[in-house]
Structure 1
Amino acid sequence: MAMGTLITAAVVLAGLNTLLLLPLVGVWIRNYNTFGTGLVGGLVLFAVAMLAENAMAIYFFFSMASFYSGDPGVQKVVLILRGLQFVAIAALSYTTLR
């Protein structure tokens, strides 16, 4: 079954979130090895959890496409949540990598 436009956009955002998180993990692991603070360790755990969540979301978008494609309301909510997550991760990436 083909995915609708909204769900396709949500999958793209989940992929972008994953790509943004990868360099953050690297920077924060390097910082943790240098400073060893609990705050940086928490950032590493946050990024790893978000990577896992986005990877699972992409998997479920493809394996359970019929679940998401059945209700346009669900599609809108999923897209909005992925979009909000993208904005948050993009802001965090900008702050961390500049």
Structure 2
Amino acid sequence: MAMGPLITAAAILGGLNVLLLLPLLGVWVRNYATFRTGLVAGLIAFAVAMLAENAIAVYFFFSMQSFYAGDPHVQQAVLVLRSLQFVAIAGLSYTTLR
């Protein structure tokens, strides 16, 4: 069964989230090596958790397509949540990397 357009968009956003989190994680690991503060350690933990969550989500989008295919409201909710997460990570990336 092919993925619908909403789940395809959610999968793409999950992949973009992973791509945005990788450089953030790199910056925060370098900063932790320099400053060794709890705040930076917390940012690293956040990045690792979000990276794992998004990678697992993308995996499930492709391996369990029928799980999301049944209800269009579920697909819409998944897309909205991925979109909100993307906006949050993009804002954090912009702030951190500039």
Give the TM-score of the pair, scaled to structure 2. Answer: 0.99
Could you tell me which residue of structure 2 aligns to residue 24 of structure 1?
A: 24
User: What are structure 1's unaligned runs of at least 5 residues?
Assistant: none
User: What letter matches 2:85 in structure 1?
Assistant: Q
For residues 29-68 of structure 1, give each alpha carbon's deviation from its aligned partner in whole angstroms, at most 9, with x where no partner exists: 0000000000000000100100000000011111110010
User: What letter matches 1:87 in structure 2?
Assistant: V
Structure 1 segment 54-73 matched on structure 2, within 5 A? 54-73=54-73
User: What letter matches 1:85 in structure 2?
Assistant: Q
SS, match of residue 84 in structure 1: helix
Could you tell me which residue of structure 1 aligns to residue 79 of structure 2?
A: 79
Could you tell me which residue of structure 1 aligns to residue 41 of structure 2?
A: 41
For residues 2-37 of structure 1, give each alpha carbon's deviation from its aligned partner in whole angstroms, at most 9, with x where no partner exists: 000000000000000000000000000000000000
SS, match of residue 2 in structure 1: coil
User: What letter matches 2:97 in structure 1?
Assistant: L
Percent identity among equivalent residues?
78
Give the TM-score of the pair, scaled to structure 1. Answer: 0.99
User: What are structure 2's unaligned runs of at least 5 residues?
Assistant: none
Two-structure CA RMSD over aligned residues (Å): 0.4
Q: What stretches of structure 1 move > 3 A for 4+ residues in a row?
A: none
User: What letter matches 1:19 in structure 2?
Assistant: L
Give the paired residue count. Answer: 98
